[in-house]
Each structure stands twice: as structure tokens, then as C-alpha cells.
Amino acid sequence: MKQELLAKMNAYLANQEIMYIKLHNMHWNLKGNGFFTLHAKLEEYYDQTADIIDEVAERILAMGELPVANLKEALEITKVKELPDGAIDIAEAVRILTIDVEYWIHDSKEIVELADKEGDVVTADIFTGYLKEYEKTLWMLKAFAQN
């Protein structure tokens, strides 16, 4: 069971590693009405993602496993789709982000459940915190998309 939790955490880590690059891509190539608002928010998201990557990798190490630490392996196990280089309009960026945040919510819930089964309150607590933030982010993205 612990191996299942660690595998899921490494998959989550891979998703976040790819998202870090994807968020930069959106940040750099964003176009359209609402640019200033979403441009700043994307920077917040990739800064937050960098912190999450570090925290999850260190938790995996503390649990006695090696974290996914290269893009080749991360790309093999990620659910997150890369974004091609090029201009991206606001509506498309929000649509893509909404899909990705829904992955984060799903994955965080799975990890909390697995951690609870293992009696791993530390991991459950970490991912419960992420879940709280992701649900708020999803609500905000949906509200932004209604403009």
C-alpha cells in the first residue's frame, strides 16, 4: 500500500513539474483582454508550483523513495498535456488551466485517501492543504471565465 501511495505522489510530482513549464509558457505567450490580471495570476501559480514541487519531492525522500527528477520520466507518467509554443488567448488559457486544476483536485483527493489508509497524517495534511487551495483556484477560474 505504501508503494501505491509513493507511486501516486511521484505521478503527482511529475504533473507539477510539467505544469511549472506549462504555466511559464502561458505567462509568456498570453494575449488579449484581461492580460494584466491573468499574467500576474500565472506568475503566482508557477511560484506556488515551484514550492509544491520542492515540498512533495522532499516528502517522498523522507518516506524513503526517490522523487521523479527528470523531464523525460516526468513526461512518461504525467497526465498534464504540454502546451505548444505560441500565442494563447485568455479564454483558452483559462479553459486549459481549469482542466489541469481538476486533475490536481482529483490527484490530491486520491493521495489523501491513500495516506489516510496508511496512517500517514503528514502526507494527508500536506495534500489536504493543496486540495483547499486547488478548490479555491477552480472556483476563481470558473468565475473569471464567466466574464
Cell matching residue 140:
476563481
Q: 92-103: per-residue pLDDT in tens? A: 999 999 999 999
Q: Give the phi and the psi of residue 30 in degrees, each rounded to 5.
A: -70, 140
The Cα–Cα gap between 49 and 79 comes to 16
Q: What is the dihedral of CA 94, 99, 103, 106, to 10 degrees?
A: 100
- In the block, residue with C-alpha cell 489536504: 128
Q: Which residues pair with 89 in a beta bridge?
A: 31
Q: 46-90: per-residue pLDDT in tens? A: 999 999 999 999 999 999 999 999 999 999 999 998 999 999 999
The pLDDT of residue 43 is 97
The pLDDT of residue 146 is 86
Give the lowest-confidence range in 32-36, 41-45, 46-50, 107-111.
Answer: 32-36
Q: Which CATH number fits domain 1-145: 3.60.40.10, 3.30.465.10, 2.40.40.20, 1.20.1260.10?
A: 1.20.1260.10
Buried b (16+ CB within 10 A) or exposed e, 74-86: beeebebeebeee
Name the band, by pLDDT with cuts 50, 70 and 90, for residue 6. Answer: very high
Give this prediction's pTM: 0.94
- Average model confidence (pLDDT) across the chain: 96
Question: Can you list the pairs that 131-137 forms with residues at least 24 positions away whose Cβ atoms lie under 8 Å?
Answer: 131/105, 133/48, 134/101, 134/104, 134/105, 134/108, 135/105, 137/45, 137/101
Give the lowest-confidence range in 5-9, 79-83, 131-135.
Answer: 79-83
